[in-house]
Every structure is written in C-alpha cells, then in structure tokens.
Copies of this chain bind each other. A is one copy, B any other.
C-alpha cells in the first residue's frame, strides 16, 4: 500500500500530520481545492502548483456524466486526463445524489435516479462507484454513502446510517487497490448514539481514513460543531480524519482544534468568482464602489501574484467589466489565503502554539462578514 499516514505532532486535540501517496505527500491539516469537473474553476494545474496546493478534490458524480468513465480510462486515470500530478481525492457521488439527482429511489442494492444533465436513468451501486474510482486511479476514494437532509426523525436517520454501513462493507469488498486509499464516511445525522454506532461499524470494516459526512445539510451551525466535537475524538487516531464540505476559515479553525486533518469546500473559489475576497483584515467585496479608486493591493499581508501585481481598483475594474481574468486573479488570492491559513495552522501545531494563534485569529475574525 503506497498510502500511509503519520502524526508528526499533537497539541491538545489538534494534529499535525503527513499523508504519503504514490503521487506525493500531503501535509495535514490540509485544504483541498474543489475541481468538480476535473478543473478547479479558473485555475490551471500549474497555477495550483505555484499556490502549493498538495491535493485537489474532484467529483465522481460529475465526471461520470462528463466526460464519462471511458475517456478517463483511456487516459490511464484522472491525473493524466486533467494534467495534475499530485494527489487527488474523489468524493463518491453520494452527496450529489442527495443534492442534485432527480427522481431518486434508494434500495439496498443501490440508488436509481435521473441524470440532472440529460434525464438518463442512472443506477449507482457501491460496486459501480468503486469501479469508477478505481478507474480514475485516484489516491483517495470515498465509499458510496446515503446522504440525507437534516432530520429529527431518529429511526429514519438510523435506517439510512445502517444502509450506508452496508454499502461501506460492499465498497471495501470491491475496492481492491494496492496503491490507493479508501475512506469510510460516518453518518448518523445529529444523533450522537448513531454517529458512534456508525464509527464502530466502519472501524470494524477497516478503512485508510474516515470522513464525517452528512453535515452542512441544513442543521444549525451549533449542531454541526457539537457533532464534530463528539465524533472527532472517537475516530481512529492513526488515520486521517476528513470533514467533508467544510467550510469557512472559522469553521476550519474550529475543526482543526477538534482534531480534523482534511477539508474541502467550494467557498474560496466560488466566493472569488463572486468577488468576495478573504484578507487579513476581513472579507472584501471587490465590487463595492469604495474599491474603484483604491490603489492598494487587496491585502498588504499577502504575497500572492494578485496582491503583488494589481491594485484593488484593477480587480474592481475586472469585476465590473466581467473579465475572466478577474475570476482567475480572485481565485488565486482566495486559494492562497486558504492554503496559507492551513500552513499557518500546521506551523502553530508544530510549535505547540495553536492556542494563541486561534485566539488572535478569532479576535480578528469578528470583523469578518461571512
């Protein structure tokens, strides 16, 4: 197995670690930029490398629809197809089946739905999901899970969680890679008892890493934090812990504090395209007219290409004139912000200084509109 994880340092619950894969190492805690269709929006692989991204996430569901598995197979896997040489994680499609599939019907066997793209009938099973990700040859594959909306109906959530465990079992059986990792996904909604049962079942099956799924699906933010706080310490210490789809910088900080190692989220890239930019002094809406004549860089404390080269006024101008370059420069900056934040967190944990780092950050954060 080319995949391994080791802890380098711990401070309270937080962890500084390193994942090794056949496409290189990933320093954790790590943030994974999202490249839904095998491209992080407005970024080239070269630019992502320059930003020191060590892993990106791509979406099985979307790639299955376009370009389809055959094209990726012919390229010998997703890395070759998209020109990205470093690690890739693909989600399983469980979340997209929940969020964008039409007319879905779930059975023990799998889930049937209509493609949101062309209406085609698609039947996704744990086995098919594994075959897809095996053909992608990605460094980290995710089990197919059932993701459900926020619900207070414990019996319903329990049934769904148990189905996810059943599927996780079949995923493990099918996923016969000697090289790449398969992560289990913990479900159980906002019910601690169900979350615990889910973890125990998944650990019994045995995965190379574990993810917390089924959050950010409509539950109040406090519930989410409570669950992460409960689940994280129950997750195996010697495996990477991944909090799926999270989040804002503040969410990430809180989760790192609770011992999470991996994150992915569309926020930095989507916000960038909408002109919301993270800076050391707060969130800047570049479209605001007070940037029209502003000769300052976006963030004096940032050394990304965008901040080194352009004024806020130019970024404002690109936004107003809908120039694609604006999306690119904004994305460079926001990803730089996220990736630097992760580097700062790693350094703080290494030096046993996470606490002062967090309190200082939280203090500044008050100014953020988020």
Contacts and interface: CB of A to CB of B under 8 A. Distances in A.
Interface of A: 37-46, 66-67, 70-71, 74-75, 81-83, 292-293, 295, 305, 309-311, 313-314, 316-318, 320-321, 323-329
Contact of A293 (B41, B70, B311): B70
Contacts of A309: 45-46, 83
Contact of A74 (B66, B295, B323): B295
Contacts of A40: 325
Contacts of A82: 314
A320 B42 CA distance: 15
Contacts of A46: 305, 309
A74 B312 CA distance: 13
A314 B44 contact: no
Contacts of A44: 305, 325, 328-329
Contact of A325 (B43, B313, B318, B320): B43
B295 A75 contact: yes
Contact of A81 (B67, B305, B313): B313
A73 to B, nearest CB: 10
A45 B43 CA distance: 15
Nearest to A46: B305
Contacts of A316: 67
29 contacts: A37-B317, A37-B318, A37-B321, A37-B323, A38-B314, A38-B317, A39-B321, A39-B323, A39-B326, A40-B325, A41-B323, A41-B324, A41-B325, A44-B305, A46-B305, A46-B309, A66-B320, A66-B321, A67-B317, A71-B292, A71-B313, A74-B295, A75-B314, A81-B311, A81-B313, A82-B314, A83-B314, A324-B327, A328-B328
A317 B70 contact: no
A12 to B, nearest CB: 40
B41 A71 contact: no
A302 to B, nearest CB: 15
A83 B312 CA distance: 12
Contacts of A329: 44
A311 B75 contact: yes
Contacts of A38: 314, 317
